[in-house]
Structures are given as C-alpha cells and as structure tokens.
Chains A and B, each alone.
Chain A
Amino acid sequence: MADYLLVESQGGWLGPGTEAFLRDAVSVAERGDRVWLLLIENGVTGALPGHWPELATLTGLGTCVWVDGYSLEERGFDPAVVAGAVTVVDMDTVAGKLLEPGVRVVWH
C-alpha cells in the first residue's frame, strides 16, 4: 500500500484534465492506496457544494480531502461553505504530508 498526495490546482472549467485527474485519484483509492487530495488555487472551487461528485466518492473510500484555506480566502469564499467532508488546511500541513518519507506527490 502506497501513500499519495494528489494536488489539483485547476478549476473544472479548464477542460477534461481535471476530471481525469480526479478519476485517477478514485482509481488509486479504489485499489487500496491511501490518498490525500489537496484542492488549491482554482481547484478549491471543486469543494463548493454540488461541484465535483468525485469528492464524495473519494471520502467514501477513506480519502482525506483537503482544501487550501489561503486559496479560499483569496477567492472570497467563506470556508464554512465548502462541502462538509473536506478539511481546510494551511501550507504547513501540506508541507508536513509532502515531506513524509514514502509519500508520492503529483501536482496537477
């Protein structure tokens, strides 16, 4: 079992790449690897209610879905409005996970 930190920085309006990345995250979680999905920059819009159904699938598979608080604030979003199953984090938390030995990181 491997650990993955997958980072999505783009909004869904930029094309199929974001959907494909989320599908990959689901595939990785489904095969039993541990996944932390970080939504950052425009990717935080995916955490708004009703946007990315893949997030519910991921949390159902045990994935930790993180949303960057700085990106939310920069875009004028109240952290309270993001979907309930996600966790608002800061960059120190991200760095801690990223630097853990054995954690594989992909930044999309």
Chain B
Amino acid sequence: MQDISEDILVAAGEGNVAAFKQVYDVYSRFVYNVALRMVKRPEEAQEITQDVFLIIHKKLKDFRYESSFKTWIYRITVNLTMNSLKRLKKRKNRETSYDEQYNLPSKENHGKAIMDKEYEGAVTQALLNALNSDQRMCVVLRSIQGLSYEEIAETLGVKINTVRSRLKRAREKMLSVKDEVLNNEL
C-alpha cells in the first residue's frame, strides 16, 4: 500500500473532497477486504467501509501525525469490524450445522474443482470461519494483508507475542479442520 503525502491529508482534513478521494482510493481496498473476510457478507462489509471513511473524514482534521496514519486507519477498521461482528453474532442462530458453521463449498458444485480458484477461495474462507474473531483478524492482517507482527500488534493494541500466539493457534486449528474437510470431501 503506497503512503500518502501529508499535504493531501491536510487538504482532506480541511474538507477538500478531491484530496479525500485520494485517501479513499489508497486505503479502501484494505478496509473493504478486511471487513469482507471478517464478516463474510458483502453488504455488511460495504457498510463498514463507508463508516470507516466517514469517521476518518470527521476526525482527520484532529489527527496529529504523531503515529502512523496507516496504523490509525487499520485501527479504525479493526474496531468497527469487530463491533459489527459482535452485533452479527448476537443475531446469529447458535444451532448451526457443521456445513453452515464452516460454510463449506458443496461437492456437487465443485466436485471437479480441486484446483479451481473459486473453490480454493471458498475453502480458504471456510478455514477462516473455523477461527474465533481474534485469531481470524490476525490471520487476515498477516496472511492476506501482509502486515508485519509489529504492525498487527500496534493495530490491535496487544503485544507481539500475543499476535504470534494467536497466529500459531489459528494455523493449528486450520490444519486440523482442513484435514477433516478434505477427508470428508474425498
């Protein structure tokens, strides 16, 4: 993700819509994809992305540039996404079947498609669904968005060892689930 110059941030903070659009263009992909991988619903991810940028627009003029602007956006994204997840969990039916829980691709549609990209994407999302929200966020930020351990720790407000530990447990869980899934499928 490219860095954005302070001039543009200042202009955006002063209400310049074109400057703010540049900020949006640089960071919207990150925000949308984090939200999408966490909440799994495109319409919810759209709402989160919208809210993130409206908050940024509101608070940009007060941003002091003492910390990284990138980290600030990451933090807002994570907070709003986690809040949304909590709301969705409250509404969700607890009695879900194995397939619903992991949202696995059906064999009928993907029987031929072991190597198919869509199928792989669906399997990857199913692996993410097996994790709790803290673990999933760490995997999304690290394995999909490419943030370093330090950036993740700063974004989540935890220690680097906590990030490491969550990633380890997440990957152990995904390995065990993937074996189970593949055995069932085959």
A and B together in one complex: no
